[in-house]
Chain A
Amino acid sequence: MTGSRYRWFRVFKISGIHATLLAYSALVLFPILLVFMNSFKDQMAIFGEPLAPPTPETFSVDGYKTLFEIANFQHYFLNSLIVTTVSLVLIVFLGAMAGWALAEYEFKLNTFMAIYLALGIMVPIRLGTVGILRLMADWHLVNTLTALILVYTAMGLPLSIFILSRFFAQLPPDFKDAARIDGASEYRIFTLVLPLVRPALGTVAAISMIPVWNDLWFPLILAPSEKTKTIVLGAQVFLGQFLNDWQAVLAALSLAMIPAILLYMLFSKQLIRGLTAGAVK
């Protein structure tokens, strides 16, 4: 147990762990880097030497040029940004209000409401697509970003309420009681406690963001028009239209991946904290 044998065993074990994790990381990064790298090469080099990085002779950004000439990627990006931002604000804010009500007040329907709202965590909203499409068509909301925002808000609220009500329930009562004695209204108290759960708000936003940003289903069905295409749908349609032009295809893939990766880097702290806090019960 003592001495060099143990140390050698430890070194061996740790290098084994690193080797496994390195190998898996390589498997993860390979396809992403491959696509990204080849998007900067000319058609000949893409097919001739797919594994070689671009050289001055093979370097080309024609794919990106086609992309900007034909498809309106800036516009798709803006749509995705609007839909995601507004949905997240609504999910977090309305979720906090409802979560607060469920955690703070005792009323007759409390348990019923909690269960009713939690149903949405277990049942995927897609199964109501037929109803959603008819509702949106009746209200003339098809092909508007509003339709997407409403659906994503409804989709994100159950989890948001669930997580936030747990956080609100953990707040120490002294603070709230002190405020109440000072004669603060319930609304005022809510604005006072909201900053206390800020990390939780960030977590909810980070967790809710991925499915909203990456969704293909609802943009495809509810808002497929050129004006309202999100970046994922835009990329999907573009990929379908330019199957022959690999430079453009690889450029489109890269360009659609980059915003997601940037967002991830920006929010990874909240996201990982959210996941590792056991938030998804």
Chain B
Amino acid sequence: MRRKPFPWHITVFLAPAVLIYTLFMIYPMLASLKFSLYQSLDDGRQVFVAFGNYIKLLTDPNWKEPFWNAFWNNVVFFVIHMSLQNPIGLLLAVLLASNIRGAWIYRTIIFTPTILSVVLVGFAWKLILSPTWGIWFPLLDRLGLGDNEVAIALLGNESSALITLSLISVWQNIGIPMMLFLAALIRIPSELIEAAQVDGASSWRVFWRIQFPLIVPTVGIVAILTFIGNFNAFDLIYATQGALAGPNYSTDIMGTFFFRTFFGFQLRPGDPNMGATVAGMMLLIILAGVLLYLYGWQRRMEEVQF
């Protein structure tokens, strides 16, 4: 190591990856950001408008309303994931870590939806909840919910469509937090738990006193992964509700709003500059989340840990 005059080999090792990564990830990202600072005229020329597009997005009623609507819907989407997907994932991981027989079978099954395409999962659930197929209504009738306005049209009601889609997404993605929690739980030395059990501690106590404190760092990782995934989501809404994210834009999230802005819809053409602006806002939101995680959460974690 560290003895050659010019480290050609380092360049050779690094160059291909850095080149592809810079060219197809960093450069397009910067180009998009630059593009969001311009507006195209009718004759196709581009004029520099500085932050004009961002101001328009946040103040012009035609843009402000759909933007904040998509943003808050996305927040709801994220909150549902945080409050259901991750706790249930943790519960499943704890059950799987409790040395029962056949744990690997359960683990393999529960992870299966995660490897399927969101398009297929969304479409399959749409069929199951469809009023035409005789699955959902007979089930509701048996439960005595046959007259419930919301239950009979889960994907059609403004009050329930977003929640339903979030639940479908939770159903699909629960495997990821489950696996990460499971990994963290397995790494806990079994002597610790056995010692506590010998002392007569209940499983509940063992979990809160020993297991949970040791997997707290994983909780942070899961949270930030969920955050990035959710604010970047698109496929599920597009596949089940279409690009208009109905009813009445109640399932519109940042991804679908970006798609519609960029590509346009029905009789309206898209606006690439505003599309880039929406993407710029998404980048800002995600970066804010990541920084919060790195500086808020992880710093504190380092202090807590040994």
User: A contacts B directly in the complex (CB < 8 Å)?
Assistant: yes
Majority DSSP secondary structure for residues of A touching B: helix
Q: Which of A224-262 contact B (CB under 8 A)?
A: 232, 235-236, 239, 246, 249-250, 253, 256-257, 260-261
User: Cβ of A216: which chain B residues have Cβ within 8 Å of it?
Assistant: 117-119, 235, 238-239
CB <8 Å contact, B133 and A130? no
Instruction: Say whether A86 faces chain B, with CB atoms less than 8 Å apart.
Output: no
**B274-301 to A contact mask, C-beta < 8 Å, 1/0:** 0110011011001100100000000000
B23 beta carbon closer than 8 Å to chain A: yes
Contact at B27–A135, with CB atoms within 8 Å? yes
Contact: A253 with B30, CB < 8 Å?
A: no
Chain B residue nearest to A256 (CB atoms) is B120
Evaluate whether A97 and B120 lie within 8 angstroms (CB atoms) in the complex, with A105-B7, A129-B279, A261-B112 already known.
no
**Judging by beta carbons under 8 Å apart, are B286 and A124 in contact?**
yes
Beta-carbon contacts under 8 Å, A114-143 to B: 117, 119-120, 122-132, 134-135
Main secondary structure on chain B at its contact with chain A?
A: helix
- 4 new A-B contacts, CB < 8 A, other than A119-B26, A128-B28, A214-B117, are A28-B171, A31-B128, A120-B21, A232-B120
Find chain A residues with CB under 8 A from B119 CB. 214, 216, 232, 235-236, 239
Give 23 CB contacts A-B under 8 Å. Answer: A17-B98, A18-B100, A24-B110, A32-B113, A32-B116, A51-B135, A95-B17, A97-B12, A97-B17, A101-B9, A101-B10, A107-B7, A122-B290, A127-B232, A127-B279, A127-B280, A128-B279, A130-B35, A130-B262, A131-B276, A135-B31, A157-B17, A246-B133
**Which of chain B's residues have a CB closer than 8 A to the CB of A35?**
124, 127
Please state if B110 and A28 are interface contacts (CB–CB under 8 Å): yes
Complex Cα spacing A22 to B180, Å: 21
Task: Indicate if A170 sits at the interface (CB-CB under 8 A).
Answer: no
Of A56-64, A69-77, A271-279, the one contacting chain B is A271-279
Interface positions of A from 85 to 120, Cβ below 8 Å from B = 90, 94-95, 97-98, 100-102, 104-107, 113, 117, 119-120
Contact status B20-A153, CB under 8 Å: yes
Contacts of A126 in B (CB 8 A): 232, 234, 255, 279
A78 contacts partner chain B, Cβ-Cβ < 8 Å: no
Segment 2-54 of A: residues with Cβ below 8 Å from B: 13-14, 17-18, 20-22, 24-25, 27-29, 31-32, 34-35, 46-51
Q: Are B117 and A106 in contact (CB under 8 A)?
A: no
